[in-house]
A = this chain, B = another copy of it.
Amino acid sequence: MTAVLADTEAFVATLRAQSRRYHSMHPFHRRMNEGLLGREQVQGWVANRFYYQANIPRKDGAILSNCPHPDVRRRWIRRIVDHDGTAPGEGGIEAWLRLGEAVGLPRAEVADERHVVPGVRFAVDAYVTFARTRPWVEAVASSLTELFAPDLMADRLAAFERHYTWIDPAGLAYFRARLTQAPRDSEHALEVVTQYCRTPAEQDAAVAALSFKNDVLWSMLDAIDSAYPDR
């Protein structure tokens, strides 16, 4: 039992260490938080990141579909409700469309994904495909970037309010909501991953899944950085 606990601690530490590769370190994200982006770059980031937001419930639907445990599904489903809302005008996707409006992008222009660049599409689609085709617990592990999200969200909120004063702060509601949702979600995901990944092979697969997710987020910023260069 002591051995298992030790393994779990080392496993969680290895997962947490993936924070060093989180997209908060990406040059584009660093410049964003330093207030160095122009309006078009912020708009490009918002319009492209929408494709990620819009696909999150589809990724989570795949996890529900692949997971055979009602007790896991019963908590996981909350993520879909958070993103889709329970009524029109609610939820994270809607909040992101309002962020789009706050940065000067008409809703339709964000919703129809006309600004989404190929590299962003490829990365997000790879994430949804991963959730559909890999063992469900690996898809759960891939969500653990949420362990690192609260710090990023807090920094981003402060940066936006300080540097991009042309954005109506009401438009930043998505970031504020994630400050409380992400810790709740990552706590559940960590519980699930530590419960279901007990062998070294399972734990390695979980770490690889989280590493893959870091690649997804990083690649998105590579593509956005390339499409919206500094002028």
Contact = CB atoms under 8 A, between A and B. Distances in A.
Interface of A: 54, 57-68, 70-71, 73-74, 77, 80-81, 83-88, 91, 93-94, 128, 131-132
Contact of A86 (B63, B74, B83, B94): B74
A88 B58 CA distance: 25
Contact of A77 (B59, B77, B128): B77
A61 B73 contact: yes
A70 B58 contact: no
Contacts of A74: 84-88, 91
Nearest to A73: B84
A59 B70 contact: no
Identify which of A70, A85, A88 gathers the most chain B CB atoms within 10 Å of its CB: A70
A52 to B, nearest CB: 14
Given A70-B84, A80-B77, A81-B77, A61 B62 contact: yes
25 contacts: A57-B64, A57-B70, A58-B66, A58-B67, A58-B68, A60-B64, A60-B65, A61-B64, A61-B66, A61-B67, A61-B73, A62-B62, A64-B65, A64-B80, A65-B132, A70-B83, A70-B84, A70-B93, A73-B84, A74-B84, A74-B85, A74-B86, A74-B91, A77-B81, A132-B132
Contacts of A91: 70, 74
Contact of A57 (B57, B73, B131): B73
A57 B62 CA distance: 11
Contacts of A132: 65, 132
A66 to B, nearest CB: 7
A54 to B, nearest CB: 8
Given A58-B64, A65-B65, 7 more contacts: A57-B73, A62-B65, A65-B132, A74-B86, A74-B87, A74-B88, A132-B132
Contacts of A60: 64-65
A-B pairs with lowest CB-CB distance, top 4: A61-B64, A61-B65, A62-B65, A70-B84
A3 B148 CA distance: 55
Contacts of A64: 57-58, 60-61, 64-65, 80
A62 B67 CA distance: 11
